[in-house]
Chains A and B, each alone.
Chain A
């Protein structure tokens, strides 16, 4: 088996990993879980891009996909959840007006 064929087998394995982690990330219902799975997807994509001889893209995918995007999602969830929590507190305390459905 020559190196080119061996590399193509590795690429096939990386593609399966990417497809599996992408499906898992899309099907995860909880945004926090999804952020973690997106980081895993970013890591799998980095491996795939390195195998496809694209170190430039792998480098930016590593920094963006595993750090920046999941962090942004986690921070947004934290902001949105905390707001929801105080919303429920107010609902329990009294009827001081929530008119949205």
Chain B
């Protein structure tokens, strides 16, 4: 259990990239990118975990309670929401590609066309 959580994050990343490399559909590739992205959240939050720690809120807990690392949580939190809007931007690009080139297969998109 000492390095297993970090290795899981690496596995998720590789699975997402494998999906993207072998993809025959741009929409599918964007979904795989979302998978690869989720590996960063897993890595950040597992790095910040503290054995026996509680969530970093002091509304009704004593101020000296041991908490998990809040810094990595702040990083992951904003990225989850911002990542979704970036996914939307990529999907909008996919719709435009379909409109202009008539295909969503990345291998069929050969040269640059206006």
Do the two chains touch directly in the complex (Cβ atoms below 8 Å apart)? yes
Which chain B positions have C-beta within 8 A of A79? 95, 98
Which chain A positions have C-beta within 8 A of B98? 79-80, 83-84
Number of interchain pairs (Cβ within 8 Å): 141
Contacting pair B25 A31 (CB below 8 A): yes
Q: Which of B66-96 contact A (CB under 8 A)?
A: 67-68, 73, 76-77, 80-81, 83-84, 87-88, 91, 94-95
Contacting pair A52 B77 (CB below 8 A): no
Distance (whole angstroms) from the CB of A27 to the closest CB of chain B: 7
Q: Number of residues in B with C-beta < 8 Å to the partner?
A: 55
The reply to whether the CB of B5 lies closer than 8 angstroms to some CB of chain A is yes
Contact A64 B84, CB 8 Å, known A45-B38, A54-B68, A54-B73: yes
Q: How far is the CA of A60 from the CA of B38 in the complex (A)?
A: 13
A→B interface (CB under 8 Å): 3-4, 8, 11-12, 15-16, 18-19, 22-23, 25-31, 34-35, 38, 41, 45, 48-49, 52-57, 60-61, 64-65, 68-69, 72-73, 76-77, 79-80, 83-84, 87, 98, 100-101
Interface of B is mostly: helix
Which chain B positions have C-beta within 8 A of A100? 101-103, 108
Which chain B positions have C-beta within 8 A of A52? 45-46, 48-49, 68
Contacting pair A60 B80 (CB below 8 A): yes
Which chain B positions have C-beta within 8 A of A35? 31
Beyond contacts A18-B42, A53-B56, A84-B98: 11 other A-B pairs, Cβ-Cβ < 8 A, are: A12-B4, A18-B12, A25-B32, A26-B16, A27-B15, A38-B31, A41-B38, A45-B42, A53-B55, A80-B95, A101-B110
The reply to whether the CB of B64 lies closer than 8 angstroms to some CB of chain A is no
Of B1, B15, B25, B35, which contacts A38 at CB under 8 A? B35
